[in-house]
Amino acid sequence: MIDLEGVGVTYPGGVEALKPTSLSFGSEITVLLGTSGAGKSTLLRAINQLVTPSSGTIRSAANGLVSGGCELRQHRRDTAMVFQQHQLIGSLTALKNVLTGRLAYHSTWRTLFSLAPQDRLIALAALERVSLLDFALRRTDSLSGGQQQRVGIARALAQQPAMVLADEPVASLDPATAANVLKLLSDICKSDGIGAIISLHQVQLARTFADRIVGIVEGSVVFDGPPEALNDQVLARIYRQPVQDLAPEAELNGSPSAELALSLAME
C-alpha cells in the first residue's frame, strides 16, 4: 500500500505539473489515463521520487514516511520502474540488464564486483517469466521493441517489488505487441500479488487491463473508479473533447486492428 497526501510537483519556472493530490494504491492494477502532458508521468515519478514532490507526503506500508536516506532507498527498491523507452544498455546482454534490478539489494562497494550466484538465478527466473530465457546472452540492441520492453519488465521483477510503476510502457509498440506486453505484465502482477500503476492514453487498453482507472487532466485527478464507470461523459472530460473525436489521442479505442490484437492477446 502506498498513500499520497497532498502530493504536488511544481517545476522551475512555476509550472505546476501535478496539483496537490491524495490517492492510495494497493495490489490492484491501476491505469493513469489522460493525454500527453496531463501529469501522468509526473505522478508516477513522484511516487518513487525520481521527481521530488514540491508538497505533500508519501507513505508506504513497508517503509513508512518516505523522506530520504535509507527509507527512500528501500522505497525505490520496492517500487520498480518500467519505462517507455526501455532504458536498457544496448551493448549489454539481456541478463546483465536484468541483473541491474538487483543492485538496490547491495551496498555501493559490492556492486563494483560480480553479483552473487543467487542474483543470477533470480534474473534468469525473471527472464523465463517473460519468455526470454533463450535470449539471456543476446545484446539488447539486437532485440525487437517488444522484446526489449519484456527485458524491462524482467528487470523490474528482479527487484522483487511490491509495486510496479510503468510509464507509457507500450507507447512505441504496435497494437498487437502492446496488448501482449500489457497482458504479460498484468498476468504476472496478479499472479504474484504485486500492485501496478500504469500510465496510458489508449482507452481500450485501459478498459481491458485495469482494475481501477484514474483520469488526469492538467495535473488534477478528474476521475477515479472502475473501468465500467468510464462512460462517454467521463472520457470527454478526460480528453477535453467530444467522445467521437478521441481517435487521434486514444488510438486503440475502437480500431479494428486494436480489437483483433486485444482478442488475440486475451486468448
The CATH code of the domain that includes 7 is: 3.40.50.300
Mean pLDDT of the chain: 87
Q: Hey, how many other C-beta atoms are within 10 angstroms of the C-beta on 229?
A: 11
- Pairwise CA distance, residues 69 & 72, whole Å: 5
Contact 57, 6 (CB under 8 A): yes
Instruction: State the pLDDT at residue 97.
Output: 94
169 and 47 both lie in a single domain: yes
Contact 9, 53 (CB under 8 A): yes
Which run of H or E residues covers position 203? helix 203-209
Instruction: State the pLDDT at residue 66.
Output: 83
150 and 177 both lie in a single domain: no
| Structural domain boundaries, residue 138 | 89-161
- Pairwise CA distance, residues 54 & 52, whole Å: 6
pTM of the entire predicted model: 0.86
Grid cell, residue 156, equals: 523490474
Is the pLDDT score of 35 beyond 70? yes
- Angle, to 10 degrees, between the axis of helix 256-266 and the axis of helix 175-192? 30
pLDDT digits 0-9 by tens, 142-180: 999 999 999 999 999 999 999 999 999 988 889 999 999
Contact 91, 153 (CB under 8 A): no
Amino acid at 236: A
Instruction: State the pLDDT at residue 259.
Output: 53
Instruction: Evaluate whether residue 71 is within a structural domain.
Output: no
Phi first, then psi: give them for residue 201, nearest 5 degrees.
-125, 0
Is the pLDDT score of 40 beyond 90? yes
pLDDT digits 0-9 by tens, 48-67: 888 999 999 999 887 788 87
The arithmetic mean of pLDDT across residues 83-99, rounded, is: 89
The arithmetic mean of pLDDT across residues 186-211, rounded, is: 94
124 and 154 both lie in a single domain: yes
Is the pLDDT score of 113 beyond 70? no
The 10 Å CB-count burial string (b at 16+, else e) for 132-147 is beebbeebbeebebbb
Q: What percent of the chain has pLDDT over 90?
A: 64
Instruction: State the pLDDT at residue 3.
Output: 95
Q: How many domains does the chain have?
A: 2
- Pairwise CA distance, residues 176 & 183, whole Å: 11
Residue 197: left if φ>0, alpha if ψ -120 to 50, beta else—which one? beta
Last residue of a domain, one of 161, 186, 219: 161
Q: What percent of the chain has pLDDT over 70?
A: 87
Indicate the range of 13-17, 108-112, 244-248 predicted with least confidence.
108-112
Q: Give the CA radius of gyration of the chain.
A: 18
User: Minimal CA–CA distance to 181: which of 119, 109, 264?
Assistant: 264
**pLDDT confidence bin for 218, thresholds 50/70/90:** very high
55 and 172 both lie in a single domain: yes
Last residue of a domain, one of 145, 161, 177: 161
Chain centroid, CA 73 distance in Å: 19
168 and 255 both lie in a single domain: yes
Instruction: Evaluate whether residue 83 is within a structural domain.
Output: no
Instruction: Evaluate whether residue 7 is within a structural domain.
Output: yes
Last residue of a domain, one of 161, 192, 218: 161
Instruction: State the pLDDT at residue 243.
Output: 59
Higher pLDDT, 156 or 116: 156
